[in-house]
Amino acid sequence: MASPSVLPSLGEDWNYYQSLLPTKSTPYFILTFMVMIIAYAWTSSIDSSVKKLPLVNPAGFFSKNKVKQEYRRSARDILEKAKKLYPDQPYRMITDFGEVVILPSKFMDEIRNEPKLSFVGGIAQDGTIHIPGFEPFRELSDPSALVQTMTKKQLTHFLSKVTEPLSEEGSRAISLNFGESKEWRELALRPAILDIIARMSSRVFLGEELCQNEDWLEITKDYTVTFSGAAFELVAYPVALRKFVHWFLPICKALRAKSARAQAVIAPVIAKRVELRRAAQEAGEEIPYFNDALDWLDQEAKAKGANYSPDSIQLLLSFVAIHTSSDLLGQVILDICQHPEIIPEIREEIVRELRANGWKKTTLYNMKLLDSIMKESQRLKPIGSAIIRRSVTEDVRLSNGLLLKKGMRIHMDGLRMQDEKVYENANEWDPKRFLNMRTQAGKEHMAQFVTTSADHFGFGHGEHACPGRFFASNELKVALCHLLLKYDWELAPGTDVKPLMRGFSTLTNPTAKVLIKRRENVELDIDSI
């Protein structure tokens, strides 16, 4: 469950959202004067050392829209070109977020824990978190850091207690989406994976009552897609105008409606829990406790004296889980389908570990081949090609003398994870790459899926590394255990497995289809463990 980018992937909805955007540059003609003022103010505040950095996709005032469209289509190509032209050097790039400084990964350890470089500040700079419907992402910038604390402290601590519930819900969700037929049939992968992850995540975040609530599940899935489209459309306008134009955009209206629906679904659940606790206290009985994120958040909020919106945080948690975990799960399945020779070994490992220890956190830890496969798929196709993004809150001078001024944005080139200097045969999917790395002295820990480093930062790195990655790891492994033991898989003829690139976002192909059937002879009935 990685930290969300401000522009999540759009999937098959890309064409729809693109059709909503004004064609050519008509609205930009109207806004040109304001854009020029903003651009001048920004460039005049940049330190001279930054101005000297090469701009890899330069544009005049009247061609900036064209350059941004090119960024949306070919951001990774621009990054690769820049890496060849300016190896190990910072440079500037025009993006949907304005002009940003791209740092090569050699600066990773230098900036990863720098307190003057803010993750949440980058989100705030987009001018969307105070727009109705975007409230969940406002919670990330709250000084109490309630979400981050709950995730690091409570969610990770209770992993051993949620493994069995994850398996129960995963089994139910997978059967619902993939069926029990022993005949080959073709289906679209993405919708099924979205639903499975939504149901499994909701079991832990909201408990049994809401994880099977069809209204809530529909809201969380719709919110994820609608938020993606709304964010995508809003960045077509200058930041200063976004707080006004959102009122006139149909997709932003839809986002507000989904946020309101989420509150309507969660409010009665919270009220019911309050009443149960009040009644138990009056009767002198044990106060009921629900081992889910609703209760964990309540505990942390009371400890910190913080106010929070339960529905907003739940939408945030669901969004991050659906956006990142479902994308990676889909990619792992596609990669395995392209390398079916590895399936018998994966099944043997799953059966061996589950038969020996059952559904425990340690069991999942010992599935080291499965762990290696997940890390390798994430290495080759991370959620973005420029994963580390920060806002400069105070001036910072880097070791090479470059002064990053307050208010600037920086991104980090993520191409190191596919660099031949770092990984042998870097562009090939090697399921045992990280399994073999565990046998090398000093690399045992670094090779684990949840470990971040300057060579593999699919979950970010440093202070702002994804705090939910331990939960995501367990959730994905549980889902894959059911999917691989219970079903046979093949790619559907003619399916496209090439990732979809949209700006810095890199999405598992949303059109991919698979052939699937329930297996006749299963080595282990994992539902009875």
Closest CA to 199 of 513, 451, 482: 482
Give the three-class secondary structure for 104: coil
d(CA 183, CA 520) in angstroms, rounded, equals 10
Q: Which of 23-32, 101-110, 239-248 has the lowest mean pLDDT?
A: 23-32
- Determine the Cα angle at 203 with ends 200 and 207, to 5°: 175
- Give me the chain's average pLDDT, please: 86
Q: What is the pLDDT of residue 126?
A: 72
Q: Give the model's confidence band at 48: pLDDT under 50 very low, under 70 low, under 90 confident, else very high.
A: low
Helices H / strands E in the chain, number of each: 23, 12
3-state secondary structure of 144: coil
Cα four-point dihedral sign 417, 464, 325, 453: positive
Confidence bin at 365 (pLDDT 50/70/90): very high
31-56 average pLDDT score: 59
The string of DSSP codes covering 38-54 is: HHHHHHHTS-HHHHTS-
Contacts 24+ apart (CB under 8 A), 12-17: 12/190, 12/510, 12/511, 13/225, 13/228, 13/229, 14/500, 14/502, 16/229, 17/228, 17/229, 17/232, 17/233, 17/251
* pLDDT for 38 beyond 80: no
User: H/E/C letters for each residue in 206-227?
Assistant: HCHHHHCCHHHHHHHHHHHHHH
> For residue 447, what are the CA distances in angstroms to 221, 222, 376, 450?
32, 35, 10, 9
Cα separations in angstroms, 425 against 418, 449, 520: 9, 19, 37
Tokens matching residue 100: 């940003």
Q: What is the DSSP string of 459-491?
A: TB-GGGS-TTHHHHHHHHHHHHHHHHHHEEEEE
Of 65, 43, 228, which is closest to residue 134 (Cα–Cα)? 228
- What would the pLDDT profile of 409-468 be if each residue is shown by its tens digit? 999 999 999 999 999 999 999 999 999 999 998 888 889 999 999 999 999 998 888 889
First to last CA, the chain: 26
**Higher pLDDT among residues 242 and 379, named by residue:** 379
pLDDT in tens, 313-358: 888 888 888 888 999 999 999 999 999 999 999 999 999 999 999 9
**pLDDT band, residue 220 (cuts 50/70/90):** confident
**135 Rama class: left (phi>0) / alpha (psi -120 to 50) / beta:** alpha
User: Residues with Cβ < 8 Å from 350, sequence gap 6 or more?
Assistant: 367, 370, 481, 484, 485, 524, 526
pLDDT of residue 62: 66
479, 177 contact by CB (below 8 A): no
The mean pLDDT value for 256-276 works out to: 88
Beta bridge partners, 410, equal 101, 390
pTM for the complete prediction?
Answer: 0.86
Rounded Cα distance between 363 and 165, Å, is 15
Q: Which residues pair with 117 in a beta bridge?
A: 392
The answer to whether residue 44 scores a pLDDT higher than 50 is no
pLDDT at site 189: 96
- Host H or E run for residue 330: helix 326-338
pLDDT band at 64 (very low <50, low <70, confident <90, very high): confident
- Structural domains of the chain, with CATH: 11-528 (1.10.630.10)
Higher pLDDT residue, 273 or 91? 91
Identity of the highest mean pLDDT range in 118-122, 278-282, 383-387, 425-429: 425-429
3-class secondary structure, 146:
helix
Query: Which range, of 39-43, 232-236, 260-264, averages the lowest pLDDT?
Result: 39-43
pLDDT digits (tens, 9 = 90+) for 76-96: 999 999 999 999 899 999 988
Alpha helices, H only, 4-47: 14-20, 26-44
More confident residue, 20 or 263: 263
Q: How many CA atoms lie within 13 Å of 372's alpha carbon, on the beta-carbon side?
A: 20
The per-residue pLDDT for range 471-513, each reduced to its tens digit, is 999 999 999 999 999 999 999 999 999 999 888 989 999 999 9
Question: Tens digit of pLDDT for each residue in 138-195?
Answer: 877 777 788 888 888 888 888 888 899 999 999 999 999 999 999 999 999 999 999 9
The residues near 157 (Cβ < 8 Å, ≥ 6 apart) are none
H/E run at residue 197: helix 189-206
Q: What is the pLDDT of residue 49?
A: 65
* pLDDT for the residue 270: 84
Counting beta carbons within 10 angstroms of the beta carbon of residue 110, is it exposed (0 to 12), middle (13 to 18) or buried (19 or more)? middle
Kindly report, residue by residue over 302-312, the tens digit of the pLDDT.
Answer: 888 888 888 88
Q: How much is the average pLDDT of 195-202? A: 93
Q: What's residue 489's pLDDT?
A: 96
DSSP assignment string, 237-273 = S-HHHHHHHGGG-HHHHHHHHHHHHHHHHHHHHHHHH
What pLDDT shows up at residue 524?
95
Q: Is the pLDDT of residue 211 over 90?
A: no
pLDDT for residue 2: 47
Residue 249: pLDDT above 80? yes
